Amino acid sequence: MKEIADLLKVKGLKVTPQRIAIFHMLYNTAEHPSAEVIYKSLQETHPTMSLATVYKTLDALKKAELVQELNVGEDSFRYDAMIHSHPHVICMSCNMVHDLHTDILADLKGKVAHSTDFELVSEQIYFYGICPTCQKN
């Protein structure tokens, strides 16, 4: 937890138990939870934390570039503590979001920048389909 507190300080954020808990939860999951899922998962250990606090903390972590916000086509955003650029694959049946670990797209940003003359700042790539578990059902 000291590492998280130090990281928050380096990014100029006030260190609070809520911020540590939220970032710790995101850092230690591959689930890409929404604010509501984060809130519910921390209720037992942080019963006085409000949903508004979760939203405000996620916004602060996003602005500090400690988490990325994913818009996967739902009514709410998902969050990911793996901030380096990487594509995601999303199941259209169960809505699970998975990191896609591949080198196939390694030079895509460079190719897009070259062909458009844009100075690209960031990118988010999503692939949609049906996951193996849902295919079986």
pLDDT at 32: 96
88-91 and 126-129 strand pairing: parallel
Q: What is the spatial distance between Cα 66 and Cα 118, in angstroms, rounded to a whole number? A: 25
pLDDT at 97: 94
| Contact residues for 89 (Cβ-Cβ < 8 A; gap 6+) | 97, 98, 100, 126, 127, 128, 129
φ and ψ at residue 21, rounded to 5 degrees:
-65, -45
Which architecture does CATH list for 2-80?
Orthogonal Bundle (1.10)
- DSSP E strand stretches across 35-136: 68-70, 78-80, 88-91, 97-99, 126-129
Q: What is the spatial distance between Cα 6 and Cα 44, in angstroms, rounded to a whole number? A: 25
Residues of the chain with CATH 1.10.10.10: 2-80
- Name which of 68, 75, 31 is nearest 40 in CA terms: 31
Q: What is the spatial distance between Cα 60 and Cα 67, in angstroms, rounded to a whole number? A: 9
User: pTM value?
Assistant: 0.86
pLDDT at 56: 97
Q: What is the mean pLDDT of each run of 10 residues along the chain (137 residues)?
A: 90 95 95 96 96 97 96 90 91 93 83 94 91 95
φ and ψ at residue 34, rounded to 5 degrees:
-85, 170
pLDDT at 88: 94
| Class of the CATH domain delimited by 88-136 | alpha beta
CB 13 within 8 A of CB 60: yes
pLDDT at 7: 92
Residues of the chain with CATH 3.30.1490.190: 88-136
CB 25 within 8 A of CB 17: no
